Amino acid sequence: MKKIFAITKEELFDKKWFLIGLGVLIGFLGLYLVNLLSGLDLSGLQAYLDTLPESLLALLGPLDIANPYSLFNAYFFSFLWLYCGVFLVYMASSLVPQEVENNTIDLVLSKPVSREKYLTGKILFLYIFIACLMGLILLFAVAGMASSSMFIEAGLHWERLGALFLAATLHLGTLAMTAVLFSTVFLNTKKTLAASVITMFIMFFMGGSYGTAGATLSNPLRYASTWFYYNPAQYFGTGNFSSFLGDVLVLLAVNVGLIIASLMVFRKRDIPV
């Protein structure tokens, strides 16, 4: 374990300013949105929304505008994969290939550390990074909500933020682990990044548009996409936790599956010069 932590520690030390910068930037965006929403006439907006045709509303998805949690989620937490995901995928894509490209992997793997421990150290770093990033972002959200009269009136439900933290961390974890798996296959930053980003957007469209697909396509599409198991609109927007445990278990299983696949691929790979 000492060697795994040594690898994790160096990565955290290297990326600390990136973590703080990204967390603060997205956190401030959340804070800004809370303040923006606090100044809006939500009942007026809801009345306008009620006048829209039902087919258009179906496209927009379930949106309870009068509820500040639902609105904040629609503008912020539903897009966390985009705000953070792209950076995470980039970082996870380059974590191992960059060491191959810089020849530093030879130095490390010629020391008494197995490939499994090396990769586990990198993976552990990614989860700690994601958890810390989410923690920072939610800290700003807590500050915004606690100072917003709109949220205070609707009641401060911290358990919803707790559920969101877990679901978002696991969901972002699946994106990062997909990139790690591709990186062990290609050992090349550009190829890994391309494959990971394409996969991410395919998953997003599969998970987000299953309602508009035909009946025969609908089920396989939605079940295959990790987006189907990330439902902040339910946990955070409405406080409905009925699918939370199932979603978390599926996302956890996907993460574990991707980690095992990455370790299996990496242990068999030749490290190129």
Partner 1 sequence: MATPTVIQTCNLTKYYGKNRGIENLNLDVRKGEIFGFLGPNGAGKTTTIRLLLDLIRATSGDATILGHNVQTESEMIRERVAYLPGELGIFKDWTASRTLSYLLKLYDRPVNWEKVEELAQILNLDLRKKTRELSRGNKQKIGIISVLAPDVELLILDEPTSGLDPLVNNEFYRLLTEKQVASGCTVFLSSHQLEEVEKIAHRVGIIRQGTLVEVAAVTQLKQLALKHVEMLLSSPSDAKAVAEKLPKKAVRNFTVEGSYARFLVKREELTLLLPQLKDVSFRDINIRDSTLEDIFLEYYGTEANGKQVNNKKKSGSTFESRKSKRKRFE
Q: Would you count residue 35 as binding partner 1 (CB under 8 A)?
A: no
Q: Would you count residue 214 as binding partner 1 (CB under 8 A)?
A: no
Please check whether residue 217 is in contact with residue 233, taking contact to mean a CB–CB distance below 8 angstroms: no
Comparison of 109 and 265: residue with beta carbon closer to partner 1: 109
Q: Would you count residue 103 as binding partner 1 (CB under 8 A)?
A: yes
The nearest distance, CB 268 to partner 1, in angstroms, is 7
Sorted by sequence, the CB contacts under 8 Å of residue 71 that are 6+ apart come out as: 37, 42, 63, 64, 65
Burial grade of 91 (CB within 10 A; 0-12, 13-18, 19 or more): buried
Q: Would you count residue 110 as binding partner 1 (CB under 8 A)?
A: yes
One-letter amino acid at 76 equals F
What is the C-alpha separation between 180 and 174, in angstroms, rounded? 10
Residue in 114, 118, 121 with CA at minimum distance from that of residue 13: 121
Structure tokens, 244:
């939370």
Q: Which of 12, 86, 142, 271 binds partner 1 (CB under 8 A)?
A: 271
Q: Would you count residue 261 as binding partner 1 (CB under 8 A)?
A: no
- Give ∠ CA 230-233-237 in degrees, rounded to 5: 140
Structure tokens, 227:
């987006």
Number of residues counted as binding partner 1 (CB under 8 A): 22
Q: Would you count residue 54 as binding partner 1 (CB under 8 A)?
A: no
Structure tokens, 96:
């191992």
The nearest distance, CB 28 to partner 1, in angstroms, is 27
Q: Would you count residue 102 as binding partner 1 (CB under 8 A)?
A: yes
Comparison of 35 and 104: residue with beta carbon closer to partner 1: 104
Q: Which stretch binds partner 1 (CB under 8 A): 59-67, 112-120, 225-233, 238-246?
A: 112-120
Q: Which of 112, 149, 155, 215 binds partner 1 (CB under 8 A)?
A: 112
Please check whether residue 29 is in contact with residue 143, taking contact to mean a CB–CB distance below 8 angstroms: no
Contact positions vs partner 1 (CB under 8 A): 3, 6, 10, 14, 99, 102-114, 268, 270-271, 273
